[in-house]
Amino acid sequence: MRRWLKGTALVVCVGVALRVFFLWFEIAGLSTLDRTRQGWTFPSTVYSDWLTLRTSEPLPLEWFENYLRKAGYTEVSSADLPGPGAYEIQGDWLFVHTRPFFSPSRSEAYQGEQFLRIKDSSSSIDRLEVSTDGRSWTGSDTARLEPIAIAHFYDQSSQNREFILPERIPPALKNAVVAIEDRRFFSHGAWDIRAIGRAAWDDVKRGRAAEGGSTLTQQLAKNIFLTREKTLWRKFLELGVAEMIELRYSKPEILGMYLNQVYLGQDGAVSVSGVGAAAKYYFNKPVSSLNLAECATLAGMVRSPLLYSPLVDPERARSRRNFVLDRMRLEGTVSPEEAEAAKSRPLGLSLSRGRGREMGLYFVDHVRNLLLDHYSPAALTSQGMNIFTTLDPFLQEAAERALQDSSHEVALVALDPATGFVRALVGGRNHRSSSFNRATQARRQPGSAFKPFVYGAALDQWRSGGTSWTLASLLSDSTFTASLPGQPELWSPRNYDGIFRGRVTVATSLEESLNVPTARLTQAISPSAVAAFARKAGIESPLKAVLSIGLGTNEVTLLELCSAYTGFAEGGQQSFPFFIKSVMGHDGTILEEDALQRKSVIDPATAYLVTWTLNQALIQGTARAAVALGMTGAFAGKTGTTEAGHDAWFIGYSPEILCGVWVGDDAPRSSGLSGPGSALPRWMSFMKISGLDRYSMPFPVPPGIQFRKVDESSGLLARSGCPRVVTMPFAGDTVPLAYCAEHPGGVIGLLRRWFGVVPHP
C-alpha cells in the first residue's frame, strides 16, 4: 500500500512538473504571439491601397466623404480641426487633418500627419493644398490618405482583434484601466492580498462566491489559459499561472497583453476583443487617436461590456465613463480640469460603424487564395498580419454599383495598365449566393475579344522580314470554307450581321469585328503564329492552334485577358496582375513585399497600331455605342460575342485604366447576349460612375510611326479624287509607295464619278 501511494505521488509530481514546464514555455511564447491558446489569437486584416488625390482627377465629394468615414474620420464644424482624424466642409472647400500612418512599403516607412485643403469643382479636384501646421499652405499636385480596412480573416472563434504594440496604446487608456480595474497594479505582485481579503469578506457577507479580487495579471491568466468556471481549484491555478507570468514579463508588458486580449463587446456573431478592435468598432478610429473621454468609456466597459455598452445604454455608459474619470482624478493621472472637460464631451460613437466589410468580397477571396500559397490557414486567422492590397475603394464601389441588378451573371476586372495593380474586381452578381469567382476562375470563350491578338500577330511580321501587313492591307470578305481538325464538316464562318463586304482593309476588319476576313488573315499568317503572339502577350490558358483560334474559340479567364491587353495599352509592356503590395507582421515587420512585374511582349509600334484601330472601334466600329452612352475620353476597346450569345465581353482601356467586363450564364445555354448590347453598357456604366469616362490622356505615339492618308477601297495612298480617305498610322518602312489608280483627281476624275463611268466602290 505504501509503495502504491509513493508511486502515485511520484506520477502526480512528475505530471505536475511536466505541466508546469510546458506551461512556462507557453507563457514565454506570449511575447512572440505563439497563438496556442484561445484568447490570444489575432485575425489578419486586409487593407485597400492608399487613397491618392490628384488635381483634375474625378473625385465626387460625397464619395470622398464616404471614404473618410470608412477610414474613421469625424466631421466637425469648428474652424480649427481638433486633431488628426477630423474633417470639415466649408462651401466648396474640404479641410482634412490626416493621421500619421506606417506605410507598407520599405521605401516609405512612415507618413506623418498633415493638413489638406481641397477644393471640389464639378466632381473633380480643382485645387489641392498641403500644410504641416494648418496655417502655412502650399499648392500640391498629389496627396495621400491611409488605407482602409476592407476585411478580416477570422478563426472559428470569430474574435476580432488587432494587435497593438504597447507603446502605441495611449497612456490615458492604460491609466484609465488601471484606475478602475487594479489601481495598485504597479505596486503589488501577481496577487493583491488586500483585494483578495476584501473579496473574501464580501463573499462572507453575501453568503456566496462572487467575482472579485483578481489583479489584471490574474485576469490575463484566466482569459488565455483557463476557463471561467468559479471554483476554488480554478482560482488556485489562476494564482499559479499569474505568478509565472509576473516572473516572465514586466508590468508594462503584462498591461499591454491584457489590453490586447480583453473582451469589450459583440459585433453580431463576432467578438470585439482588445482595445485596437474596440476603438475602431465603437469610434471608428485607431486606438492611438482616442481622446481621454473615449479612453475612459472603453475602460469602463471592461467590467461588463454588455452592461456598460454605449450602444445598449448611452446614459449608463456616460455615467460609468464619468466614474472612471473621477477615479483617474483621485489617482492623480488626470487633473480636475481635464476630467471635467472630458465629462462634458459627447460619447462620440461612430455613425459609420461596420461599413466597408462587404466591399470587394471576390477580391478578398482571391487575396486569401494567393496568401495560402505562402501561409497556413491558421497563420492567416491568428497571427494578426496586415495585408495591404491594390484595391481602390472608389473604383470597387463603382464596379459593384455598375453591375448591380443584373439578370445574368457578371464579372469585372479593372486594373492600372502601367503597374498591373488590380483596382477593382467583381466575380459575380451575388457573393452570398455564389462565391465562385467568374473573373479569375471561369474559363470561357472570348469570341471576338481575342481578335486583337490575330491582328497584332499580322502587323508584327514586318519586323522579321515577312509579309508586311499594314492597317491598309486588303482582306477578302467573301464566302470562306475550311476544314478543322476533328470535325467532319467544313467550317464556314459568317459575319455577325450575315453580310459580306467584298474587299476591306485590315483596320476596317478589326473595327467592325468581321469574322470572315479574320479567318482569312489567321490562315495567311498561320494559327500557330496567332497562338505564339497571344502566348507572348500573356494568355496562359491552353491554346489550340487551329484556324478558328482567331475567332476566340479557346477558353480564357477575364483576368488573364485583361492582363494580356496591357501590352497594347502600355506600348508593348505587359503588366502582370498585382493584388498584394505587402504583408506586415503584427509588430510592423514586413514579411513580404511584392515587386512590379513588367516585360516587353509586343513591339511598341505594333501595340500602337492595334490600339489606334481599337480606338476607331469605339468611334465608328462595333463599340460605337460608347459615344452614344456618353464616352468623351480617348479610349480603345474590343467587343466579344460567342456563338448563340452565350457570352458577352468588352475590354476597354486608356493609358490610365483598363477594364474588362463579362456577362453571361454559368449554364451553357443560348442567352441572346452580345458584346455591344450587354457588356459594353456595363463597362460604360462603370466608367461613368467612377468619372473615368471624362478623364483620359491620349495614347502616346511611339517613334517610327508615320501617318498617311489612304484610300480605303485600294489600300494605297490617297489622291484628291478618292471618295473614302482615312488617315492611318504605319510602322517603320511599311508605308505604301503607290498612289491609288482607281480614283484619279482633277476634272476628269470628278466627271467620271458623276456620270458613273467608274462605279463608286
- pLDDT, one tens digit per residue, over 143-176 is 888 888 899 898 777 778 888 888 889 999 999 9
Highest mean pLDDT among 11-25, 600-614, 617-631, 656-670: 600-614
CA–CA separation, 28 vs 34, rounded Å?
9
Examine the pLDDT at 409 and tell me if it is beyond 70: yes
Orientation angle between helical segments 336-343 and 314-331, nearest 10 degrees? 170
Examine the pLDDT at 723 and tell me if it is beyond 90: no
Whether 167 is covered by a domain: the verdict is yes
Domain count, the chain: 5
Instruction: Classify residue 500 by burial, with Cβ atoms within 10 Å: 0-12, 13-18, 19+.
Output: middle
Residue from 124, 271, 448, 685 carrying the catalytic annotation: 448
Residue 551 DSSP one-character state: G
Residue from 146, 181, 246, 400 carrying the catalytic annotation: 181
CB atoms inside a 10 Å sphere around CB 436: 15
Of 756, 731, 761, the closest CA to residue 740 belongs to 761
Domain boundary among 343, 370, 399: 343
174 plus 318 within the same structural domain: yes
Radius of gyration of the chain (CA): 34
Examine the pLDDT at 759 and tell me if it is beyond 50: no
309 plus 412 within the same structural domain: no
Mean pLDDT along residues 306-321: 93
Grid coordinates representing 617 are 472601334
Highest mean pLDDT among 310-319, 347-356, 590-599: 310-319
Domain span holding position 459: 447-554
Whether 517 is covered by a domain: the verdict is yes
Q: Confirm whether 448 is a catalytic residue.
A: yes
128 plus 101 within the same structural domain: yes
Whether 67 is covered by a domain: the verdict is yes
Grid coordinates representing 602 are 509586343
CB 413 within 8 A of CB 579: no
418 plus 511 within the same structural domain: no
Of 148, 145, 88, the closest CA to residue 113 belongs to 145
Mean pLDDT along residues 472-496: 87
CB 47 within 8 A of CB 388: yes
Grid coordinates representing 67 are 471614404
Tell me, what's the pLDDT at 600?
94
Examine the pLDDT at 71 and tell me if it is beyond 90: no
Give 744 or 728, the one with higher predicted confidence: 728
255 plus 293 within the same structural domain: yes
Examine the pLDDT at 353 and tell me if it is beyond 90: no
Whether 309 is covered by a domain: the verdict is yes
339 plus 207 within the same structural domain: yes
210 plus 296 within the same structural domain: yes
The alpha helices in 632-745, defined as continuous H runs, are 680-690
296 plus 186 within the same structural domain: yes
Residue type, 94: L
Examine the pLDDT at 640 and tell me if it is beyond 90: yes
Instruction: Classify residue 606 by burial, with Cβ atoms within 10 Å: 0-12, 13-18, 19+.
Output: buried
Q: What is the pLDDT of residues 283-299, one digit of tens each?
A: 878 898 899 999 999 99
Tell me, what's the pLDDT at 746?
46
Q: Would you call 217 helix, strand, or coil by DSSP?
A: helix
Give 248 or 755, the one with higher predicted confidence: 248
Residue 676 DSSP one-character state: I
Residue type, 39: G
492 plus 508 within the same structural domain: yes
For 484, phi and psi rounded to 5 degrees? -115, 145
Q: How confident is the model at residue 533 (pLDDT cuts 50, 70, 90)?
A: very high
Q: Would you call 426 helix, strand, or coil by DSSP?
A: strand
Percent of the chain residues past pLDDT 70, beyond the cut: 84
Q: Would you call 9 helix, strand, or coil by DSSP?
A: helix
- CATH number of the domain residue 84 falls in: 3.30.2060.10
Of 449, 453, 474, 609, the closest CA to residue 529 belongs to 453
Q: Out of 239-243, 366-370, 391-395, 522-526, which region has the weakest mean confidence (pLDDT)?
A: 239-243
Mean pLDDT along residues 643-648: 90
The alpha helices in 29-79, defined as continuous H runs, are 61-70
Give the global pTM: 0.84
CA–CA separation, 627 vs 143, rounded Å?
33
- CATH number of the domain residue 470 falls in: 3.40.710.10
Whether 196 is covered by a domain: the verdict is yes
Whether 572 is covered by a domain: the verdict is yes
Tell me, what's the pLDDT at 271?
87
CB 169 within 8 A of CB 256: yes
Whether 739 is covered by a domain: the verdict is yes
For 143, phi and psi rounded to 5 degrees? -160, 160
Tell me, what's the pLDDT at 526?
95
Tell me, what's the pLDDT at 216?
85
Examine the pLDDT at 34 and tell me if it is beyond 50: no
530 plus 569 within the same structural domain: no
Highest mean pLDDT among 122-136, 197-211, 488-502, 514-528: 514-528
Examine the pLDDT at 206 and tell me if it is beyond 60: no
Q: Out of 144-148, 220-224, 276-280, 469-473, which region has the weakest mean confidence (pLDDT)?
A: 220-224
Domain boundary among 146, 177, 203: 146
The alpha helices in 575-624, defined as continuous H runs, are 604-620
Whether 1 is covered by a domain: the verdict is no
- CATH number of the domain residue 250 falls in: 1.10.3810.10
576 plus 437 within the same structural domain: yes
Give 735 or 205, the one with higher predicted confidence: 735
479 plus 423 within the same structural domain: no
